[in-house]
Copies of this chain bind each other. A is one copy, B any other.
Amino acid sequence: MNFSTSEENYMKAIFHLQQENSTVTTNRLAALLNARPASITDMMKKLKTKKIVHYRPYRGFRLTTEGNKIALGIIRRHRLWEYFLSEKLKFTWDEVHDIAEDLEHVSSKKLIDKLDAFLGYPRFDPHGDPIPDHQGKIEKNRQLALSEVPLNKTVIVCHVSDQSSPMLELMKHNNIHMGTRLEVKKKFSFDQSLEIKIRQQAPFTVSNQVAKKISVKYGT
């Protein structure tokens, strides 16, 4: 079956909300999609008849097995394009999301598989999110928050949950981006701040609050 851009955006949004909670509500989806609750209800009825979501009025909804598969396909497209934009076209990692948002709806399977091959089958996008393979399989990236990292272990920045400007500012200022390798040198117990060291740079400190928003994985 073939889906409209709008339907695809709904599926993707439900998928993301489901990561946290198993059942998704009208209002939460409306907030995420910048739409009115009434519009959500309309679309849920439609997606229900298409067997994409389980839905009973007033009881929230979740993707069916089929819906999940389709959502993973959309996310695959999104993340491969993000990787392309960042790696090949040299966009900065904060610019890629919006453009990928459009490109992801071009739905030729062959295009995406060839793009995947051209990019060398990357497993993570520039934000550190895993890219589903052509069967929709996702590699779990054992991530942990920077705030949880043991001292003197080299870790790689692979996700930032807060994309607000102050956060981006702070990252840029300290030269942190996707793929940055760093170590936690000290943990100050009085205010829980961390001293961070990036190779060949002066150390600096970040608050625990900020460190919670930066995910890393082990690596050299």
Interfacial residues, chain A to chain B (CB-CB below 8 A): 85, 88-91, 95, 98-99, 102-103, 106, 108, 110-111, 114-115, 118
Cβ contacts A to B, 20 pairs, < 8 Å: A85-B111, A88-B118, A89-B111, A89-B114, A89-B115, A89-B118, A90-B114, A90-B118, A91-B110, A91-B114, A95-B110, A98-B108, A99-B106, A99-B108, A99-B111, A102-B106, A102-B108, A103-B103, A103-B106, A106-B106
CB-CB nearest 5 A-B residue pairs? A89-B114, A102-B106, A99-B108, A99-B111, A89-B118
Contacts of A103 in B (CB 8 A): 103, 106
Given A89-B118, A90-B118, output 18 extra A-B contacts at Cβ < 8 Å.
Answer: A85-B111, A88-B118, A89-B111, A89-B114, A89-B115, A90-B114, A91-B110, A91-B114, A95-B110, A98-B108, A99-B106, A99-B108, A99-B111, A102-B106, A102-B108, A103-B103, A103-B106, A106-B106
**Cβ of A180 to closest chain B Cβ, rounded Å:** 23
- Tell me the complex Cα distance, A85–B113, Å: 12
Contacts of A114 in B (CB 8 A): 89-91
Contacts of A95 in B (CB 8 A): 110
Contacts of A98 in B (CB 8 A): 108
**Cβ of A5 to closest chain B Cβ, rounded Å:** 10
Which has the most chain B C-beta neighbours within 10 Å: A103, A110, A111?
A111
Contacts of A115 in B (CB 8 A): 89
Contacts of A99 in B (CB 8 A): 106, 108, 111
- Tell me the complex Cα distance, A89–B115, Å: 6
Closest to A102 in B: B106
**Cβ of A102 to closest chain B Cβ, rounded Å:** 4
Contacts of A118 in B (CB 8 A): 88-90
**Cβ of A95 to closest chain B Cβ, rounded Å:** 8
**Cβ of A207 to closest chain B Cβ, rounded Å:** 34
Contacts of A106 in B (CB 8 A): 99, 102-103, 106
- Tell me the complex Cα distance, A114–B96, Å: 12
Closest to A91 in B: B114
